[in-house]
Amino acid sequence: MLIGRAPLRISFGGGGTDLEAYYARYGGMVISASINKYIYGTLTKNFDRCFQVISADLQSVYNTANNHAKNEATELRLPKAVVDHFDLNGAFNLFTASEVPPGTGLGSSGTTAVNLVNIFATLTDRPMTKEQVAETAFHVEVRKLGAPVGKQDQYASAFGGINCIKFEPDKVTVEPLRLTRGTRRKLERSLMLFFTGNSRQAWAILKQQRDATSSQEGIVIESLHNIKTLAVNMRDALESGDLDGFGRLLDESWQHKKKLASNISTEHIDQAYAEAKAQGALGGKITGAGGGGFLLLYCPPEQQPAMRIALEALGLREMRFAFEFQGARVLMNTTSLDPTDGWGEE
């Protein structure tokens, strides 16, 4: 048995500049933090030649016996692509589960890819650095599966922590933010996550944004430039301990983000955000690509009780969280690639 987990993330600023269509021309920068909500994967051996995926989140089972290469279930494509990347043809049983619903803007797709890469790298005894795990996960998602996603989720999950991540055409740099313990604790106490009740297909939103970026649409490029500048300002505010200033920058960045695609916000999200600001939030944003998922808010602790009441009245539910600093990990490994032990091709 092999058990791995990888953390989900919240992105504060710079989202969209991690898309290759943008950073290949201008360079990108994202401020993000991994949180103590995880995607888990458990790998065990099968005693037939079938590769099987059991998804707790989707309450479904997919396997290579019933889903052939030309008609693979969507839920099988990512783990199958990771297995193919490692050139394996084994009899595996993969169980996956997430602590949050999929499609809610916390980077679940990239986190799943990171977790699977880490698991299969361990199984095949091919040690990888955190950077290699992130790059391999990105390669599988984008180069093999054609996902219109950026690079921030893979790096945030693989490395863990609160980071400034810079994207250039030929490299990615991960710089942990220099926060005092007091600043970090106050930031953690001042951030709130509320589930809007809606999951969404991020790929459709990201494809619209990627296509607009590639075609150099003026309003999108200008908004991304502004978002990157605000990410720099967020880093400076956090490292100087100006957390209220950071909260106001979240608000400013959210206004620019809504210009990147037509479906990033909704009437329900706008209503909830307006109510949050009326109750004392200094700023916030929808996590991930937008369209649903979690609403991230910066709110002074003394205003939070009223905030909870107001947003719960609108149907939102809070999810408590804390920062985490370990990144992707293998928690247990008792496997062997010895074919006589049920692993690998017989």
Query: Which residues share a beta bridge with 42?
Result: 3, 95
Q: How far is CA 268 from CA 177, 264, 316, 343, in A?
A: 33, 12, 10, 49
Is-catalytic flag, 341?
Answer: no
CA dist 240 and 250 (Å) reads 16
CA distance 264 to 211: 15
Q: Which of 87, 153, 242, 338 is catalytic?
A: 153
Length of the chain: 346
What distance in Å separates the CA atoms of residue 117 and residue 146, rounded to the nearest whole number? 17
Beta-carbon contacts of 39 under 8 Å, excluding residues fewer than 6 positions away, are 5, 6, 8, 96, 97, 98, 99, 108, 111, 112, 115
Of 43, 82, 41, give the one whose Cα is nearest residue 329. 41
What is the set of active-site residues?
Answer: 153
